[in-house]
Amino acid sequence: MAFGFIFSGQGAQQVGMGSSLYENSAAARACFDQAKEILPFDLKQICFEGPEEELTQTKVCQPALYVHGYSIVAALREAGKLPEIAGAAGLSLGELTAYAVAGVYDFETGLRIVAERGRLMQECCEATVGTMASLIGGDVEKAEALAAEFDVDLGNLNCPGQSVLSGEVDKVKAAVAKAKEAGFKMAVPLKVAGAYHSRLMKPAAEKFHAFLKSLPPFSTPAVPVFSNALGARIEDPEQIKQALVDQVTSTVRWTECVQAMMALGIKDYYECGPGGTLAGLAKRIDRELNVTSLSTYDELPLG
């Protein structure tokens, strides 16, 4: 039986993530141990023990979620229980994990890419005064109109009836105050360090582009992978590099990614990451989708 694999994005991180995988799987242990050698901080200690404030930092949580998501697949492969992967996608940061699992680059290269992405995005967060807010209810057209009216960007299209504004704090606050009048049930300010997937991340995108250009060529994905920036399948290695740059500032078209996977006939999914957020979004996109969330070793389908 073939499964779609979907990978968590920033915000899903939890203290303790990966500890049971590390204890029970040599393949997962190797991922965390390699991260300790590559990164300028002890990822394993922060993931397993916290503190939460440190794990939440953009430069830390992005590599943390990458290593955690990849190690789930590594543990399944090691146990001989990795099913056929019919397609792969990830929410924001999770897209980079999907490319690693699809063989676009190896684990170590992916970790270096994610670490640089997180570092550059944190720099942008510290240099700007940005935030995000979730819009509940309303459609895409209403969300686009509200973003345009207050000169902010549409950061995410997560599922029908849930979109995210991203931009300067004062402008996002003004949009939130107008949201009900604009046709939304509610608007919820998000606890984030900055305005991800907005024009405020442009300096990070430009530096990230230069970094990716310095790397060896990517490989063609071994399985279908779906781009957040395009909301569609993407195969050309150079186009993948450009899409990763674009993704830093562009709208995360998650609904379209899931719909594109569904168009391939994929109805069964494994969510690799903590929290079950993607499972919840999938049910709002299509109730017929079956998503099993995997985070701890005990949750892996090893029977």
CA dihedral over 246, 115, 122, 164, signed as positive or negative: positive
What pLDDT score was predicted for residue 10?
A: 94
From 8, 25, 92, 295, the catalytic residue: 92
Catalytic status, residue 68: no
What is the rounded CA–CA span in Å between residue 185 and residue 162?
A: 10
What pLDDT score was predicted for residue 303?
A: 85
What pLDDT score was predicted for residue 1?
A: 87
Going by the DSSP 8-state scheme, the letter that residue 189 receives in this structure is E
The residues, ordered by sequence, that sit 6+ positions from 137 with a Cβ below 8 Å of its Cβ are 161, 183, 184, 185, 186
How many CB atoms are located within 10 Å of the residue 253 CB? 23
Question: Residue 51: is the preceding peptide bond cis (ω within 30°)?
Answer: yes
| DSSP three-state, residue 185 | coil
What is the rounded CA–CA span in Å between residue 113 and residue 116?
A: 5
Long-range contacts of 118-121 (CB under 8 A, 24+ apart): 118/58, 118/59, 118/60, 118/61, 118/62, 118/63, 118/93, 119/59, 120/203, 120/204, 120/207, 120/208, 120/211, 121/58, 121/59, 121/62, 121/194, 121/196, 121/201, 121/204, 121/248
pTM of the model: 0.97
Catalytic status, residue 92: yes
The answer to whether 46 and 64 are in contact (CB under 8 A) is yes
List the structure tokens of 5. Answer: 């694999």
What per-residue string of b and e applies to 216-228 under the rule 16 or more CB within 10 Å gives b?
eebeebebbbbbb
Helices (H), 179-264: 202-213, 237-249, 254-263
Task: Note the pLDDT tens digit of each residue in 8-54.
Answer: 999 999 999 999 999 999 999 999 999 999 999 999 999 999 999 99
Q: Which domains does the chain have, with CATH numbers?
A: 2-126+199-299 (3.40.366.10), 129-189 (3.30.70.250)
- Does 289 score more than 90 pLDDT? yes
Angle, vertex CA 167, rays to CA 113 and CA 10, nearest 5: 40
Amino acid code (one letter) for 201: M
What is the rounded CA–CA span in Å between residue 93 and residue 170?
A: 26
What pLDDT score was predicted for residue 115?
A: 98
Task: Note the pLDDT tens digit of each residue in 118-169.
Answer: 999 999 999 999 999 999 999 999 999 999 999 999 999 999 999 999 999 9
Number of residues in the chain: 303
Mean pLDDT computed over every residue of the chain: 97
Average pLDDT over residues 251-275: 97
Give how far Cα 246 sits from Cα of 34, 192, 223, 253, 296, Å. 29, 20, 22, 12, 32
From 71, 163, 166, 197, the catalytic residue: 197
The answer to whether 64 and 94 are in contact (CB under 8 A) is no
Going by the DSSP 8-state scheme, the letter that residue 252 receives in this structure is B
Average pLDDT over residues 77-81: 98
| HEC assignment per residue over 126-146 | HHCCEEEEEEECCCHHHHHHH
